[in-house]
């Protein structure tokens, strides 16, 4: 998820003139004005990608809300069920960048359709084969396709939008991510309470199949993208300052997901919520995250590192207090709202930080950020699982708080050595 929205493209300052000539020729041959054809294709691409993004992000994160039910039905512990989140993220971090290099030069429409088919088939297997080892394998395959989809899809939209318009176009695509986090995941949790968790994956599989068919019919044809300069990539990997920003993203996402992965379990065990109440709480958490996303978008252009320091400090405080209050509603409700704000803001702040740190190769920089953020998600799920197994689900906030304090130390160090 961990980190897929708002990604820029390496074509921002270098429009693909060869593609532009090809597009103009096609528009002329069909008798459609170039500007009208371009606007039509961009609208179609944005709409289809936003829908696909919602399906894919929901497939990634719905497991967070379903972990208690999945653990119960599969007769495994909650910490063992956390592998469904952890291995998805590990795969995205390790395999995703490698597949992105291969897929980056293929036609975007083909890559997007392939990704949707992989998710559809995988979700069908999860629903029909109730075996935790098979589910882990499916999640590994799906996780590997996540960075591919984000990179290729956003690059295609950026090319259609043209130089100077990529940011707005990509932000519209990210409505799919917001929809998934704020609405789809809590709705899936509520639906699973009535129909069982396998039905949620069946529904997602059906939606992915429909999206793949419509994408094949309506998504504009584009050639593959140009690879990022090898020199620029090596320069980023050799930069201590850039690596420090990747480290911060890793530690921060570890802090976020060591507690968030087991939030549904905490709400049901510590606060006594049933499935419907858990869904409502997750919806409120996501809505607060949407507000945090907007606040971060305003703050990041004014004082990026100060905003990051404030974020990680707030995350440490709220995580620790959630566990200290032990599920008391009078404290839990406002703490969940504040925690949600910090959780949502982290995505924007991490993306902008890394993009600015890797300004010479922003697309490659952000692909690495996807990888390390998913590594953080995986580490967070594993750390949180260890905390739950050894200290109980009510202690989930302590692991998050500890890593948030570590993230604060990294943030302060970066702020002292380089002002962005």
Is a pLDDT exceeding 50 seen at residue 274? yes
Is a pLDDT exceeding 70 seen at residue 233? no
Percent of the chain with pLDDT over 70: 82
Is a pLDDT exceeding 80 seen at residue 164? no
Percent of the chain with pLDDT over 90: 31
Q: How confident is the model at residue 206 (pLDDT cuts 50, 70, 90)?
A: very high
Q: Domains in the chain, please, with CATH?
A: 1-227 (1.20.1250.20), 230-420 (1.20.1250.20)
Is a pLDDT exceeding 60 seen at residue 238? yes
381-408 mean pLDDT: 91
- Is 97 or 205 the better-scoring residue by pLDDT? 205
Place of tokens 């980190």: 3
Q: How confident is the model at residue 33 (pLDDT cuts 50, 70, 90)?
A: very low
Question: How many alpha carbons fall within 13 Å on the CB side of residue 280?
Answer: 6
Is a pLDDT exceeding 50 seen at residue 330? yes
Using DSSP's 3-state secondary structure scheme, residue 172 falls into helix
183-190 mean pLDDT: 77
Cα dihedral angle (404, 407, 411, 414), rounded to 10 degrees? Answer: 180
Q: Which sign, positive or negative, has the C-alpha torsion 215, 217, 221, 224? A: positive
pLDDT score for 166 = 54
Range of weakest confidence among 34-43, 266-275, 308-317: 34-43
Is a pLDDT exceeding 50 seen at residue 180? yes
pLDDT score for 104 = 64
pTM of this prediction exceeds 0.75: no
Is a pLDDT exceeding 60 seen at residue 32? no
Q: What angle do CA 99, 228, 37 make, to 5 degrees?
A: 90
Is a pLDDT exceeding 50 seen at residue 26? no
- Is 214 or 105 the better-scoring residue by pLDDT? 214
Q: How confident is the model at residue 224 (pLDDT cuts 50, 70, 90)?
A: low
The answer to whether 115 touches 148, Cβ cutoff 8 Å, is: yes
Q: How confident is the model at residue 14 (pLDDT cuts 50, 70, 90)?
A: very low
147-176 mean pLDDT: 71
CB atoms within 10 A of CB 229: 13
Question: How many alpha carbons fall within 13 Å on the CB side of residue 197?
Answer: 23
pLDDT score for 89 = 85
- Is 280 or 9 the better-scoring residue by pLDDT? 280
What tokens appear for 35 in the block? 């500007």
Range of weakest confidence among 119-128, 317-326, 359-368: 359-368
Is a pLDDT exceeding 90 seen at residue 189? no
Is a pLDDT exceeding 50 seen at residue 195? yes
Any idea what DSSP says for residue 196? -
Range of weakest confidence among 55-59, 161-165, 202-206, 231-235: 161-165
């Amino acid at each position: 998820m961990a980190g897929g929205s708002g990604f820029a493209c390496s074509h921002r300052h270098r429009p693909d003139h060869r593609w532009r000539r090809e597009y103009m020729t096609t528009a002329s041959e069909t008798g459609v004005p170039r500007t009208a054809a371009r606007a039509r294709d961009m609208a179609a691409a944005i709409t289809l990608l936003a829908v696909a993004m919602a399906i894919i992000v929901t497939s990634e994160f719905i497991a967070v809300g379903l972990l208690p039910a999945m653990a119960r039905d599969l007769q495994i512990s909650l910490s063992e069920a956390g592998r469904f989140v952890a291995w998805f993220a590990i795969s995205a971090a390790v395999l995703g960048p490698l597949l992105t290099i291969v897929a980056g030069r293929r036609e975007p429409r083909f890559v997007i359709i392939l990704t949707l088919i992989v998710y559809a088939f995988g979700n069908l297997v999860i629903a029909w084969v109730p075996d935790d080892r098979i589910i882990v394998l499916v999640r590994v395959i799906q996780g590997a396709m996540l960075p591919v989809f984000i990179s290729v899809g956003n690059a295609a939209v950026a090319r259609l939008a043209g130089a100077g318009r990529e940011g707005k176009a990509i932000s519209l695509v990210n409505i799919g991510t917001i929809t998934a986090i704020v609405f789809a995941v809590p709705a899936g949790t509520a639906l699973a309470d009535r129909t069982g968790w396998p039905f949620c994956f069946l529904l997602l599989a059906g939606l992915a199949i429909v999206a793949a068919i419509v994408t094949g019919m309506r998504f504009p044809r584009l050639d593959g993208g140009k690879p990022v300069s090898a020199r620029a990539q090596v320069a980023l990997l050799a930069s201590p300052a850039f690596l420090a920003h990747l480290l911060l993203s890793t530690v921060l996402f570890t802090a976020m997901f060591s507690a968030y992965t087991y939030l549904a379990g905490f709400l049901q065990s510590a606060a006594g919520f049933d499935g419907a109440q858990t869904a409502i709480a997750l919806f409120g958490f996501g809505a607060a995250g949407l507000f945090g996303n907007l606040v971060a978008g305003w703050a990041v252009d004014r004082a990026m590192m100060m905003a990051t320091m404030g974020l990680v400090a707030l995350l440490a405080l709220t995580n620790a207090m959630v566990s200290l209050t032990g599920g008391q509603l009078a404290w839990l409700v406002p703490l969940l709202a504040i925690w949600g704000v910090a959780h949502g803001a982290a995505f924007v702040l991490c993306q902008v930080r890394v993009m600015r740190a890797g300004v010479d190769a922003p697309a490659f920089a952000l692909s690495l950020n996807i990888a390390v953020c998913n590594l953080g998600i995986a580490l967070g799920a594993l750390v949180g699982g260890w905390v739950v197994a050894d200290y109980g689900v009510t202690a989930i906030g302590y692991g998050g708080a500890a890593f948030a304090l570590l993230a604060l130390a990294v943030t302060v160090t970066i702020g002292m050595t380089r002002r962005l």
